[in-house]
Amino acid sequence: MAALLEACRLARSYGEGSARVDALRGVDLRVERGEFVAVMGPSGCGKSTLLNVLAGLDRPSSGEVWLDGRRIDELSETALARLRRRSIGFVFQSFNLLPTLSAVENVELPLLLAGRGRRKARRIAVGLLDELGVGARPDAAPSQLSGGQQQRVALARALANSPDIVMGDEPTGNLDSVASREVLGLLAAARGRGQTLLLVTHDARVAAAADRVITVRDGMLAEQEGLQPARRVTLPFDPPARS
């Protein structure tokens, strides 16, 4: 498999002098196209920072990030925004839906940004909501939806432009066990359609569904410290791989 995402000697620090915190310390990472990678580690170890830097939401202090053969850490804010709208879908723990837009409007936003016509964008957004099980309430405001429903809408928004990679920061962290299971099934389905997944999680079930688990400790990957990577586990809700 060709590498979709690569990080080389990635470092990110905050503050200066004695207040300086090194959140990432020379991380090397390679994610293959179509791979499902889970990132685990204790709180404060730097896994969210790693995800943010890889998604172009934050800039590294040093090192390089490459996406589909293109170096992205040096791109301008505008170029990064254009890259995110087509190539990266992002799911947050706290959903981060826009409160003044309806569910379907939240989903169609990236489609409109990508230049789709309004009608087509609406059709695709409604189809995605149907597929993710919230098609019955497309015009509901986020505040009118349950946590699980909001995360489905957020997932639909992340998947709207069929990005090369979907990244998630604790996407099941705010959900109960039933909703977590459902969202995980939807992520697995996306992966089944060939999309690459990179999820930060504390949830063992998510890790178990991944092709590969990387562990972050003190701003470094455990593998780099010579730790044993997690093994692949197949769960009952895993969809069959696309032929």
Partner 1 sequence: MTATVVKLAFAGIRTRLLASVITVLLAATATSTIVLAFEVGASARDPWQRTFDAANGAHVLADVPTEADARDIAARPGVAEADEPTPITTAQARLPAGTEALLIVGLDSRPTVNVPIAVDGAHDPGAGIVLEHSLADAVGITVGDTLRLQAPSGPVDLNVVGTAISPSVSRYPRQNPGLAWVSRSTLEAVQPDSSQWNWLAPIRLVDPTLERAFADDVFRSFPPRTVYTITAGEQRENTLIETQPTSLILTTYTIVILLVVFTVIGILIGARASQQRREIGLAKAVGLTPRQVSTIFTIETTTLGVVGLLIGFAVGVLAAPRLAQPTFATLLGTPTIAPNPIHLVVAAIPILLVLAIGAWVSTRRRSRLSVVGAIRSGAGRPGSRSRIARLADRAGASLPLALGLKDLLAQRGRAALLSAAIAATTGSVVFALCMKATLDAPASNVVSDVPAELPALVYTLDGVLLVIAVTTLVAVTILAVREHVRDFGVLRTVGFTPRQVTSSLVSAHTAVAVVAATASIPLGIGLYIGMYGAAGGDSSDLVIAPWWWLGLVPTAAAVIVSVSTGLPARIAARTPIIDALRYE
Taking CB under 8 A as the rule, does residue 58 contact partner 1? yes
| Residue carrying the six token digits 């830097």 | 53
Q: Closest CB to partner 1 among 39 and 97? A: 97
Shortest Å distance, C-beta 225 to partner 1: 26
Nearer to partner 1, 162 or 224 (CB): 162
Token pair, residue 163, equals 């990005």
φ and ψ at 220, to 5 degrees?
Answer: -135, 155
Q: Is 114 in the site for partner 1 (CB under 8 A)?
A: yes
What b/e sequence results for 174-186 when a residue is b if at least 16 CB atoms lie within 10 Å of its CB, and e otherwise?
bbeeebbebbbbb
Q: List the x/- string, 122-161, binding to partner 1 by CB under 8 A.
A: -------------------xxx-------------x----
Residues 65-94 that bind partner 1 (CB under 8 A): 77-78, 81-82, 84-86, 90, 92
Give 86 or 205: the residue with its C-beta nearer to partner 1. Answer: 86
E strands present in the chain:
3-14, 21-32, 36-40, 62-67, 70-71, 88-91, 165-169, 196-200, 212-217, 220-221
* Tokens (6 digits) for 102: 């309806």
Residue in 35, 40, 52, 210 binding partner 1, rule: CB under 8 A: 52
Structure tokens, 232: 């692949």
Using DSSP's 3-state secondary structure scheme, residue 94 falls into: coil
215 binds partner 1 (CB under 8 A): no
Does 61 engage in binding with partner 1 (CB under 8 A)?
no
Does residue 63 interact with partner 1 by CB under 8 A? no
Our finding on whether 113 is near partner 1 (CB under 8 A) is: yes
* Cα 93 to the center of its chain, rounded Å: 10
Closest CB to partner 1 among residues 39, 222: 39
Amino acid at 215: T
By CB under 8 A, tell whether 21 contacts partner 1. Answer: no
In the bound complex, what is the minimum distance in angstroms from residue 14's beta carbon to partner 1?
10
User: Is residue 9 left, alpha or beta, with left meaning phi > 0 and alpha meaning psi from -120 to 50?
Assistant: left
Shortest distance (Å) from residue 214 CB to partner 1? 21
CA angle 38, 33, 49 (to 5 degrees): 40
User: Which one of residues 96, 162, 174, 224 is an interface residue with partner 1 (CB under 8 A)?
Assistant: 96
Count residues near partner 1 (CB under 8 A): 32
Nearest to 206 by CA among 240, 239, 233: 233
Q: What does the binding site for partner 1 look like in residue numbers (CB under 8 A)? A: 52, 55, 57-59, 77-78, 81-82, 84-86, 90, 92, 96-102, 105, 109-110, 112-114, 118, 141-143, 157
